[in-house]
Amino acid sequence: MRLLMREGKCPEAGRENIMRYEWMDTYLLQKRGVTKDLQETWNWIRYHVGGKMFAAICLGADGKPYYINLKLEPAEGEFFRTQYEDIIPGYYSDKLHWNSIKPDGEVPDELLKGMLDKSYRLVLSGFSKKKQREILGLSCCGTECAACGYYGTMCQGCNELQGRVFHAPEGKPCPIYACAVRKKRMVNCAECDILPCSIWQETKDPQLSENAFQKSIENRINNLRSDKKHGI
């Protein structure tokens, strides 16, 4: 793919532009629902969640990065800018919410990871909770509906059916959906301190053996918790 320089826009021509955060692309792409593209006119690699940008790497004419852009709550962005001279108001962006980080500066890796996580969460949380589940590709109990053999034929997924799936009690939503989504207004059970609760233990597919059921609980918790690990 051809990389183009946005004419005359590189703010610090002549800077060496060494990327010390080589892990960044892999780190961002392992988050659920993330896509990336190259905005050729600007020469920015953009990372989106649900179609909205939450991070970007601004490239110079030589294809090397000169800024990393990410979004933070205004007060937090302001605080970090006072702590590190390598964090400045967002280059070519809304300077209240966006921040630019020099890719060859002194910002520690773990801090940048934390800021990227926050940016991802901030943009994701701008969507409705239903839409967030859709973007994450997980039902509220951590099931990947699209990977289920019934999905699209016998079942349209608990998100679309508001929990009234074929295995739910007649006329009622599935008890996990009823609790997490309707009662507690959560995106999913990962937000709950008592996961996996008694409702989980009681919501069993009768076709599963006890072992298979416990394995399914483990897998669903892993899905939910690995999302947490990746900054959700």
Note the residues at the interface with ligand SF4 (CB under 6 A). 139-141, 143, 158, 163, 165, 174, 176-177, 179-180, 184, 186, 189, 192, 194-195, 197, 199-200, 203
**E-strand spans in 72-203?**
87-89, 98-101
Strand order of the sheet with strand 44-49? 34-39, 44-49, 52-59, 65-71, 98-101, 87-89
- Please report how close the Cβ of residue 32 comes to ligand SF4 at its closest, in angstroms: 16
Taking the CB of residue 179, how many other CB atoms lie within 10 A of it? 21
CA contacts within 13 A on the Cβ side of 65: 23
- Please report how close the Cβ of residue 215 comes to ligand SF4 at its closest, in angstroms: 15
The token pair that represents 226 in the structure block: 């690995």
- Please report how close the Cβ of residue 186 comes to ligand SF4 at its closest, in angstroms: 6
- Please report how close the Cβ of residue 216 comes to ligand SF4 at its closest, in angstroms: 9
Report in angstroms the alpha-carbon separations of 142 from 36, 73, 82, 179, 192: 25, 28, 39, 14, 12
CA distance linking residue 212 with residue 147, whole number of Å? 17
Q: Minimal CB distance to ligand SF4: which residue? A: 158
- Please report how close the Cβ of residue 178 comes to ligand SF4 at its closest, in angstroms: 8
